[in-house]
Structure formats: structure tokens, C-alpha cells
Amino acid sequence: MIMRLFYLLTISLFFAQGMVFGQADIKIDVKNYDSDTLIFGYYMAERLLVYDTLYRNEDQLFNVQQDSSISPGMYIVVSVPQGIFYQVIVDEADQDFSVMIDTAAELRISFEGSEENELFYSYLDYIQQGRVEVANIDRVLATTDSTLVSIIDQLQKDKGSIDQMVQARQAQIIEQYPQSIPALLLKANLPFYFPEFEGTPEEVQDQKFAYYKERYFENIGTRHPAILRTPFLHERMTYYESNLTHNEPDSLIKTVDYLLGLFEEDSEAYRYYLSYYLNKYANSKFIGMDAVYVHIALNYYAKGKASWITEESRKEIVDNARKLEPVLIGKKAPEFNITQEDGTPIVLSKLDNEYTVVATGGDPFYEYSFDSDDDYSTNNILDLKSTRETRDYVFYVRDQRGCVLEQTIFLEFLDIVIPDFFTPTSKLSNP
């Protein structure tokens, strides 16, 4: 079996060609904090990564300072050793601002010189006020006599009004600051509404699924420069891949192409997820998923759509995929020679069998079966002579981890009847 290679392209390689707009100078003042250390981190797809370790300077401030700009996104300031973190927006335009944190105050964080952080935290404060009002209404409702219908109705209307005001505030931010990171975050969390569908319950369910899948990324700003450094993107990508896609290679190939197409080619998000999917499917333990890896390698890396990697790495990826391609599931197995334990040579094309199943990938050792997911054998030479029916046959391969791949193949049997005596010529007797 051809070993699949693992290509881990480091974060520094992905983003070595990052955008440069100017200098960054973020000053952090923390009150009521004894430690002289802070961690400055950021969201990166499914992970939280450390950007820098900060130490209190002679002005008693923590400073994030560099000659180039910081890639935009959601960052965090983490206290040491408590691990309490505060979210900070870093946008493209404003990277010279101050953060004031008071660990003992009720409103612990404020900003100077950062419009997007002020906008974001003013919205969070607005939400918090609404939650307090709703909690107060709920307490009143819990103690109100159920017979006081008019009072209960009014309280419910008051709750509804608070919800409407919150929605109006969200819409205002999205409309007035459409390119801002707060708008990016708010749009991603807008509720999803279905139209009315007609048909049987099953038909309605199918229509809802198709509608939801088609519009799943409708409010996700996948082309926003900060999208990779948000806390929600990877969760959405994973959900679409795992829950809205049939778990078999052909469907996953279409999904990977679709997801990569959401990003601008050569953007940070595109680079990250192209490498992420290559690595994921190169190392999948599930039988058949190497087809997704081969597709990515031959349709992206071989076609120059991963320009940031070295030619040596690109060639290694592509060469490995081309070696794997002929032995993918559904392909006609190439000729090869093997030797039995007693030294007897075996040539695939010389096997005196009707059908031979050849398995690759997964976790060898393999077991085989057809038309039954219960009756497995280590013998990959399946006897179909007793059946000889023209129909779909279901073949099963199970590896030692218990992963099962199912493949349906249509086989046509032709029954040719040769009589005991026949005349191959125009004569009435056999020669």
C-alpha cells in the first residue's frame, strides 16, 4: 500500500505574506492586577493561539508594539495565572489605541482610540441591560396571579419590545458599519427563518434541508479580511461538512470545493483551509477518503493554486497523489506482482477468479463480504458463481478498526447455452 504523506505547513508559512498597513501600538492598562505578565492571543479557526507574552513596562503598561500591522480579527487579553480573558477587536484601520481593564470594577474594560471596540462593547452593554430588564419581568411574571390576564399580556409585550429593540440595534450596526468586525459578528449570529413549504411532512423536511443548506453561509462574511480570526468560522465550516454533507468521498469532494470557493483565492482563510483539508484527508482513518486527498492535490496543488508553498513540497504532494490515484476505490486495480508465504509468485491478472477485491487505505488488516454486512472473511476472492444473477451487488470491506466501506456494483451475467452438437459451417454435419 502506498503510504500517504502528512504535509504540515506551519502558520508562519501560511501568513508570511500577510497584509502590511502600518505600525501597531496597543497599550493595555490593567488596574487591580498584581502579576507583571499578560498573554495576548487570538482566534485562529478552531484554535486559540498565543500572539505574544506581554510584560509590564516602566510606565506600568502592557504594550503590543511592532513595525508592521496586526492581521485583523478577534484577539484576547488573558490574565496570568487566573486565565480570565477579555476580547479585543483589532481592525485594519485602528491599531493605535488604548485598552483599560479594571479587574475589580463591574464594567471591567473600556477603550480609547478604537471605534470598533467602543461600538462592540456598547452593544454588549445594551444587551446586558436588556437581559436585566427581561429577568426582572420574568420575576414579576413568576409571582403574578394567572387570573390577571391583562397584566400578564402587558408583561409579555414588554419582553417582546425589548427583543425588538435589540434586533433594531443589531440592524443599525450592520447597516451603518457594514465592513466592521462588530457587523461581521452580528450578521453571523442572526436567526434563520424558513418560508412556508407545501407537501407531505417528508417533502417539507427535504425542502427545509435544501433551503437551509443552500443559505447556510448567507450571513457569514467569508470574504472579510478578519474572518479567519473569529470564534465562529470553523464551527460553521465543520457543521456544513459533517452534518449537511453525505459522508462519502464524492459528496465530500463537492463540499470541499464549495467551502474553499467561499474565500478569495490566496486569502489567509483560503490558504489555511486548503492546507487543513489536504492534511485532514491525507491522514483520514476512514476507508475511501484518500479520494478527497487526491482530488485536492491534483486540482489545487498541481494546478498552481497553492502558490505560497515551495516547489519541492508541491511536487511531493502531487507525485504522491498521482501514485494513489490508480488504486482509489472504484478504479480498476493496476497490475502488480506479489509473493505468497511459500514463495509462489502471484500476478493479479493471472488469478483464476471471477472477481478479486483489492483494498487500500484505512487501517489494515481487511475483511471482505458481499450482500451481507455480517458474514466477513479474510478471503478477498469472492465466489459469485452460485449466484449468477444480473443485479446490483453490495461489496463490503472492513478494516481492523471496524470501519466499513460499502460499494454497490452492477454485474451482468450472460448465460450462453452451447448445444452438444452444433454446426459451425453451412454443412449439416460437424467437421
Same domain, 38 and 64: yes
Domain contains 310: yes
Q: How many CB atoms lie within 10 A of CB 176?
A: 10
Domain contains 222: no
Domain contains 244: yes
Q: Can you tell me the distance from the alpha carbon of 239 to that of 365, in angstroms, rounded to the nearest whole number?
A: 32
Domain contains 91: yes
Domain contains 30: yes
* CA separation, residue 17 to residues 74, 94, 126, 192 (Å): 20, 21, 39, 37
Nearest CA to 26 among 64, 79, 70? 64
Count of domains in the chain?
A: 4
Report the relative pairing of strands 96-102 and 24-31 from DSSP bridges. Answer: parallel
Same domain, 136 and 109: no
Q: Can you tell me the distance from the alpha carbon of 116 to that of 127, in angstroms, rounded to the nearest whole number?
A: 17
Same domain, 158 and 239: no
Same domain, 86 and 72: yes
Segments forming the whole domain that contains residue 360? 345-411
Same domain, 100 and 132: no
Same domain, 369 and 315: no
Domain contains 5: no
Same domain, 323 and 375: no
Same domain, 245 and 175: no
CA 317 to chain centre: 21
* CA separation, residue 250 to residues 255, 293, 297, 411, 414 (Å): 9, 12, 15, 22, 31
Q: What is the DSSP letter of 38?
A: E
Domain contains 429: no
- CATH number (domain holding residue 38): 2.60.40.180
Same domain, 255 and 310: yes
Same domain, 44 and 98: yes
Same domain, 233 and 321: yes
Q: How many CA atoms lie within 13 Å of 276's alpha carbon, on the beta-carbon side?
A: 19
| Coil, helix or strand at residue 133 | helix
pLDDT, tens digit only, all 431 positions of the chain:
333 333 333 333 344 334 444 689 999 999 999 999 999 999 998 899 999 999 999 999 999 999 999 999 999 999 998 888 899 999 998 899 999 999 888 768 999 999 999 999 999 999 999 999 989 988 888 888 877 888 888 888 988 899 999 999 999 999 999 999 999 999 999 998 999 999 999 999 999 999 999 999 999 999 999 999 999 999 999 999 999 999 999 999 999 999 999 999 889 999 999 999 999 999 988 878 999 999 999 999 999 999 999 999 999 999 999 998 988 877 766 666 666 656 777 666 666 555 555 565 566 677 888 777 777 777 666 566 666 677 888 888 887 777 887 878 777 664 433 344 433 333 333 33
* CA separation, residue 189 to residues 61, 122, 186, 218, 372 (Å): 35, 17, 5, 11, 46
Q: How many CB atoms lie within 10 A of CB 215?
A: 11
Burial profile 2-34: b = 16 or more Cβ within 10 angstroms, e = fewer: eebbebebeeeebbeeeeeeeebebbbbbeebe
Say what the alpha-carbon torsion angle 240, 241, 244, 249 is, to the nearest 10 degrees: 160
β-sheet bridge partners, residue 102 = 31
Same domain, 98 and 184: no
Domain contains 60: yes
